[in-house]
Chain A
Amino acid sequence: MSTPYLKIEQVSIEFPTPKGPFKALDKVNLKISRGEFVSLIGHSGCGKSTVLNIVAGLYKATEGGVVLEGKEVDEPGPERAVVFQHHSLLPWLSVYDNVRLAVDTVFKKTMNKAERDAWTRHNLELVHMSHALEKRPGEISGGMKQRVGIARALAMKPKVLLMDEPFGALDALTRAHLQDSLMEIQTELNNTVIMITHDVDEAVLLSDRIVMMTNGPAATVGEILEIDLPRPRNRLQLANDPHYNHLRAEVLSFLHDRHSRKDVA
């Protein structure tokens, strides 16, 4: 592995509750190289989203920290763009305006109006949403909203793209379409991505590495699995690929048998 691009070091977080502090994460360590696609997988409530929110800067770690390109992360910013689980598009703005707001905010000083317009359209083109520029979020399907959410995040030219169960709320077919789109975009842009998921197939199909997390409280990284399947990957061919099925079985067995903290330790 090359020098780490993003380092998550000894991150622990406690949330105050009426019954005293609740330790959600305990000493999470992870190194991610540039251009790597990493999935975080684990049972619900194991703190996957918390890790992502700490990297995003939306939560502050109680101990430890996140270092991106040698600089410590202490607040949210567009270089760590987030694709939210529930799209979080502004319902009063059109698809175009939602992305344009991000572009205008991030590239206020570096691009002129025409460039910003072109960049907005380019990113919507990338997620195949050029046909619905003037539609409001309420008028398009859940899958389309998530595409726009991805376009908005990509438009910020993030150093790391953070995706919080981006396809979790979608039906299986729409999800497959979006996964294919995401792989296509990934081939082109080679972004550094951290994706939260609870879908084993999705994790194996998309990732370079899968980080499996133990159950909370005090969740941490359990095992890390390298996915050395060659790219481009095709879901249909992989379905009969013994190596793919072996990897899939690895993740499943972790989730079923080895997810509690003491088993890993």
Chain B
Amino acid sequence: MTTRMLNWFMSSETSWFAPIIKLCKGENPKDQINTIFKTVGVPVIAFMIFLVLWSASASRVQTSLGQVPGPVAVMEQAQNLLAEHRAERQKAADFYERQRIRNEAKLAKDPQAEVKWRTYNGRPTYMDQIWTSLYTVFSGFLLASLLAIPLGIVCGLNQTTYSALDPLIQIFKPVSPLAWLPIVTMVVSAVYVSDDPMFPKSFVNSAITVTLCCLWPTLINTAVGVANIDKDLINVSRVLRLSWFAQLRKIVLPAAIPMMFTGLRLSLGVGWMVLIAAEMLAQNPGLGKFVWDEFQNGSSNSLGRIMVAVLTIGFIGFLLDRLMLSLQRAVSWDKSSASR
């Protein structure tokens, strides 16, 4: 039982956990403590040093918005943001409670009475903004994947198509989202006209900008994965006389999956970076807009709140990368391609 548990821990992301179990079982305590120090101790100490340096250097810089916040001030602002979120949720709950009581009272008096159910229109809290950002980035990423994977497969299968598209890919790949956004905004305003739009325009602008920037890694990696398939495997398929479609489905696509997922993982990373910039300009109510609004707001708390956003963005980016890595490991036959 314990060995099985051990294997699980060793195989998963939590390999630092294994020496702790071994330590509890009393195997070579000295070795285990050494391993624990190397895997857990060193990063923790490095982080501490970072906090100390940050705190020391932040207090030396005075800006027009006051001192640059140190770790303590940032922690305070994080708690404030959480408290504001809770307060806002409480207000919403109170609003619905009052409405329910009012309407029930009305109906009790006169069952035929017309009652109105309104939705609460509060400010989006920090948590709401995180969700908006995630929702936007995944929409853009999904759209990009739907375009890039089939296109990448075609490019990988057909050298002529690849030669045709290669200059376009090379030119558009390095373009910054900030350059795309004005064009996207104008095109969306011109094309996406409806009285009752399903999605707000700011969301569509941000999502499409994300799409334009995170198409490329998936497209290129898929194409390379498909094009570089082992020639012997193609020969196997020829000996078996697989049809074109069967060869694609049974040999080419599975062979390209590891590269495809490497591309998807890069794309999501790019998409998340791009999103923050896009939201700032497009005023999509997410983390980017939050940062921009705080900057414009210019209160003495602003820098601290922006710092909270910076850390949140980093942490979510890290989680997204881990998510893609796990997904890559789960579907990929080539475990070495998903090691880092």
Contacts and interface: CB of A to CB of B under 8 A. Distances in A.
B241 A88 contact: no
Contacts of B333: 91-92, 136, 138
Interface in A64-80: 75-78, 80
A91 B240 contact: no
B239 A78 contact: yes
A150 interface: no
A196 to B, nearest CB: 15
Interface string A120-159: 0000000000000000101000000000000000001000
* Chain A interface, DSSP helix/strand/loop, else mixed: loop
B238 interface: yes
B254 interface: yes
A78 B240 CA distance: 5
B242 A105 contact: yes
A76 B241 contact: yes
A90 B240 contact: no
A58 B254 contact: no
Residue from B233, B239, B251 whose CB has the most chain A CB atoms within 10 Å = B239
A76 B251 contact: no
Interface in B8-56: none
B232 interface: yes
Contacts of A212: none
Residue from B235, B240, B257 whose CB has the most chain A CB atoms within 10 Å = B240
Nearest to B241: A77
A79 to B, nearest CB: 10
A15 to B, nearest CB: 15
A106 B239 CA distance: 10
A118 interface: no
A78 B241 contact: yes
Contact of B239 (A82, A86, A90, A138): A82
A162 to B, nearest CB: 9
A101 B239 CA distance: 12
A95 interface: no
Interface string A73-110: 00111101110101010111000000001100110000
A76 B240 CA distance: 8
A84 B236 CA distance: 9
A56 interface: yes
Given A91-B333, A92-B254, A80 B236 contact: no
A88 B231 CA distance: 9
Contacts of B236: 82, 84, 88, 90
Contacts of A56: 239
Interface string B238-278: 11111000100011001101000000000000000000000
Contacts of A77: 239, 241
B230 interface: yes
A76 B250 contact: no
Contacts of B239: 56, 58, 76-78, 80-82, 156
B338 to A, nearest CB: 13
A90 B238 contact: no
Interface string B54-68: 000000000000000
Contacts of A58: 235, 238-239
B235 to A, nearest CB: 6
Interface size class of A (residues with CB under 8 A): 20 to 34
B334 interface: yes
A82 B240 contact: no
B263 to A, nearest CB: 18
A88 B240 contact: no
A102 B254 contact: no
B254 A76 contact: no
Contacts of A80: 239
Interface string B217-244: 0000000000000101101101111100
A88 B232 contact: yes
B244 to A, nearest CB: 14
Given A90-B251, A92-B254, A84 B232 contact: yes
A106 B236 CA distance: 12
B235 A82 contact: yes
A58 B235 CA distance: 7
Nearest to A149: B236
B262 to A, nearest CB: 16
A157 to B, nearest CB: 13
A84 B235 contact: yes
Contacts of A81: 239
A138 B251 CA distance: 17
Nearest to B231: A88
A101 B235 contact: no
A156 B250 CA distance: 18
A88 B242 contact: no
Interface of B: 230, 232-233, 235-236, 238-242, 246, 250-251, 254-255, 257, 333-335
Interface of A: 56-58, 75-78, 80-82, 84, 86, 88, 90-92, 101-102, 105-106, 136, 138, 156
19 contacts: A56-B239, A57-B238, A75-B241, A76-B238, A76-B239, A77-B239, A77-B241, A78-B239, A78-B240, A80-B239, A82-B236, A86-B232, A88-B232, A88-B235, A91-B333, A92-B333, A101-B240, A105-B241, A105-B246
Closest 4 CB pairs of A and B: A92-B333, A88-B232, A76-B238, A105-B240
